[in-house]
Amino acid sequence: MLIIHVGQFEAFLFDLDGVITRTASVHSRAWKQLFDEFLAKKAAQTGTSFVSFDLETDYRRHVDGKPRVAGVLSFLAARGIKVPTGQPGDPAEQQTVHGLAKRKDHYFLELLAREGVQVFDPAVALLRNARGRGVRTAIASSSRPHSSMHASMASISTI
């Protein structure tokens, strides 16, 4: 077991997704929903076999830790699929990279709304301990600031 002597630090910086909040599995399920729908539709249109998005291999290799657009591009390239890039303002229904990325965001938000945000209790305890001792703390995220981040932050605002 790792022992952290909080008083030996001037500050702590915590990542939100996967460190403070248990949202990594929510992200992976949103990606799976997006790509399985997309791949099933493509298979039906082209008469090819449907090969689903694998939560372990595909998620970790192609989308985990990447911005949404980069994740869409990486996964589709791995499958040899090309779709138009589109524009950041594309609606979620549009079959463009930006549209698919936006649809993933919608699925993520739906899952959060349905299931709520869970936290990692040991990380929260460390954060509270540090704040209680006057150590500066911050929580950061590589996710684009939007309502999912606000939902996550609201769930831990009492920390």
Give the residue numbers annotated as catalytic, written as ranges: 15, 17
Is residue 76 helix, strand or coil?
helix
Over the range 127-140, which residues count as b (16 or more CB within 10 Å of their CB) and which as e? beebeeeebebebe
CA dist., res. 110 & res. 116, Å (int): 10
132's CB contacts (< 8 A; 6+ apart) are: none
